């Protein structure tokens, strides 16, 4: 669980760094808008949290929670491509 906590913080700071870089550099790098990339990292972090939890529950052989986490990931991923 401590690892998940650190990864969440890393996700937050990376996203903020990307948005900040987008604000300072003000032009796209290789067609990538840095600030939008930062927002994407930010929005993917909770999905990553649920993914980490699913791995954790699979490892703990708690299949009910694993299934719930997988279903939630499916809902979130499908939403991105709708």
Partner 1 sequence: MDYLIVFIVGIISSITGALLGIGGGIIIVPALAIILKLPMQNAIAVSLATIVSTSILVTAENVKKNMINFDMGLSLELTTSVFAISASFIAVNLSQHILKAAFGFFLLFIAVFMYKKPKKKDAPCDSSSRYSYFDPKLDKTVYYNVEHPYMAVAISSLAGFLSGLLGIGGGVVKVPILNGVCRIPMKVASSTSALMVGVTAAAASFVYLRHGYILPYLVLFTSLGAVFGSKIGLYISKNSKNETIEKIFVVVLIVTAVEMIIKAFS
Binding mask 12-31 for partner 1 (x = CB under 8 A): x--xx--xx-xx--------
Q: Which is nearer to partner 1, 50 or 58 (CB)?
A: 50
Query: How is residue 61 written in tokens?
Result: 């052989």
CA–CA dist 81, 12 (Å, integer): 23
CA–CA dist 54, 70 (Å, integer): 6
Q: At 61, give phi and psi (nearest 5°).
A: 60, 35
Among residues 25, 29, 32, 43, the one that binds partner 1 under rule CB under 8 A? 43
C-alpha 10 chain-centroid distance? 10
Interface contacts to partner 1, rule CB under 8 A: 1-2, 4-6, 8-9, 11-12, 15-16, 19-20, 22-23, 35-36, 38-40, 42-47, 49-50, 53, 65, 68-69, 71-72, 75-76, 79-80, 82
């Amino acid at each position: 669980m401590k690892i998940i906590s650190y990864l969440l913080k890393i996700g937050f700071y990376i996203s903020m760094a990307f948005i900040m870089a987008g604000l300072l550099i003000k032009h796209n790098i290789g067609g990538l808008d840095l600030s939008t990339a930062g927002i994407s990292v930010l929005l993917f972090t909770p999905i990553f949290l649920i993914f980490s939890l699913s791995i954790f529950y699979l490892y703990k052989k708690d299949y009910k929670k694993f299934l719930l986490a997988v279903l939630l990931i499916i809902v979130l991923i499908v939403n991105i491509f709708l």
